[in-house]
Structure 1
Amino acid sequence: MTRQRNTTDDSGERTGSGDDLDPVKREIMEATYRALSTHGYGDLTIQAIADEFDNSKSLLYYHYDGKDELLLDFLDYALGQFLTEIQVSDDAPDEQLRTLIDTLVPETLPDDPYRVQLAMFELRVNAPHDADARTQYLKADRELKALLRSIVERGITSGEFVPVDPDLEAELFLSLLTGTRTRRLTANDEFSIETARAALLTQMRRLKVDDAAPASPTGATPDSDEA
């Protein structure tokens, strides 16, 4: 029996997420999301997904050999949705950066999205031992960093941001955003999202020309000359 699988592009990255999914695969992905919201990653089973699926359990096995293969497709789907979600409109660069912070690190996180984010984190923990998962997360990190870099570059070009190394600044924000999302999932009551968001917004304000005192710690490039 030939299963319908996601394809890969020339880089080896899976390309089955987003609008190119056939209706049945999309229903499976949505059922997996609901099952993760209810059961979490540790207690997730094919039966739990089947309980959320409008079609038969045998149809799941027609497309997938088991839970691990299905979850890899879900990871591809979820990260594709994530990359779509973080795209921001052509507002002023500081507004773009603020929108990105609010999207990735909202003030509140309802239970269902929390449980799915926790499942995604647990999948990421396995990435060092799973080449396919690692490829997907590296792709997401690269695209988020490229978006951050483009925002910083636009801000510098428009004169809204102080001159900094865009690549270093993007790396800093990527690390801050990823770290904040991880700590929120793992530290529970010991973690203050208010303090974390304040730190992110403070770093954003340091970029702005009108507020840049002191300058961003990444303001000097490695080969810049002192006056």
Structure 2
Amino acid sequence: MTQDGRAEELEPAKRRIMEATYRALQKRGYGNLTTQDIADEFENSKALLYYHYDGKDELLVDFLDYVLAEFLDGLPRGDRTPREELETLVDALLPETLSEEAYRLQLSMFELRMNARHDEAYRAEYRHIDDELTAHLRDILVRGIEAGEFEAIDPDAEAELFLSILTGTRARRVTVFEPDESIESLRAAIDSHIDRISA
């Protein structure tokens, strides 16, 4: 859907379907989500959903790509230093506390990732997400090394490490922390790692 473009390039009907899916996941979570739940959040008919998608799983694969594109499009570029960009990325992925709706959405994304082991389409989409985030992290690190903000680290290895840290921390957040419980200690560990690689 958006792998070759950005989220704003979606046709209006598909964008409305994605926004309805977002709202439905916030309210219902992944485990209880039905196509009807999405249709209930969609101002158009359920028939239009089936015109674009054969079922919930196909829709959710597109939704994952949409969320990635929206997330990457929303990140600040060009007006911050590489370290500030890295810190902003951490803030965006790991806010210290979450609203109940944001928590349910993050939990849904985690449950979808867990299903990727059993669904090739989900697995391919999560590989794409991981590749995009790794490339974004690598770009930040390379520019930071060139600007003298980061030590002469291996940007490929460090980008992979950062993605693993962020993914693992998000998993811990939704499985052992309450939505409004601060993850300050987890964030402090990430900040400490950023300090270690900084020049």
TM-score (norm: length of structure 1): 0.79
Give me the whole-angstrom Cα distance separating, in 2, the residues matched to 1:87 and 1:127: 30
Paired position in structure 1 for 2:69? 80
Matched, 1:66 2:88: no
Matched, 1:29 2:18: yes
More helix by share: 2
Secondary structure in 2 matching 1:128:
coil
State the shift of 1:64 in Å: 2.0
Q: Is the 1:41–1:122 contact (alpha carbons within 8 Å) kept by the matching residues of 2?
A: yes
- Deviations for 1:75-123, whole angstroms, at most 9, x for unmatched residues? 2212222232345434222211111111111112222222112111111
Give me the whole-angstrom Cα distance separating, in 2, the residues matched to 1:86 and 1:126: 27
Secondary structure in 2 matching 1:61:
helix
Picking from 151, 155, 158, the partner of 2:147 is 158
Give me the whole-angstrom Cα distance separating, in 2, the residues matched to 1:159 and 1:114: 37
Paired position in structure 2 for 1:119? 108
Q: Is the 1:16–1:77 contact (alpha carbons within 8 Å) kept by the matching residues of 2?
A: no
Q: Is the 2:96–2:182 contact (alpha carbons within 8 Å) kept by the matching residues of 1?
A: no
Picking from 188, 193, 196, the partner of 1:198 is 188
- Aligned-residue CA RMSD in angstroms? 2.0
Give me the whole-angstrom Cα distance separating, in 2, the residues matched to 1:39 and 1:113: 12
Give me the whole-angstrom Cα distance separating, in 2, the residues matched to 1:22 and 1:156: 39
Paired position in structure 2 for 1:41? 30
Give me the whole-angstrom Cα distance separating, in 2, the residues matched to 1:87 and 1:51: 33
Secondary structure in 2 matching 1:129:
coil
The 1:48/1:87 distance shift into structure 2, 3 A limit, reads: same
State the shift of 1:205 in Å: 0.8
Q: Is the 2:6–2:73 contact (alpha carbons within 8 Å) kept by the matching residues of 1?
A: no
Structure 1 residue runs of 5 or longer lacking an equivalent are: 1-5, 8-13, 210-227
Give me the whole-angstrom Cα distance separating, in 1, the residues matched to 2:115 and 2:6: 20
Deviating above 4 A after TM superposition, structure 1's stretches of 4 or more consecutive aligned residues are: 14-17
Paired position in structure 2 for 1:144? 133
Give me the whole-angstrom Cα distance separating, in 1, the residues matched to 2:31 and 2:153: 43
* Equivalenced residues, count: 197
Give me the whole-angstrom Cα distance separating, in 1, the residues matched to 2:149 and 2:54: 53
The 1:62/1:199 distance shift into structure 2, 3 A limit, reads: same
Give me the whole-angstrom Cα distance separating, in 1, the residues matched to 2:116 and 2:123: 4
Q: Is the 1:16–1:73 contact (alpha carbons within 8 Å) kept by the matching residues of 2?
A: no
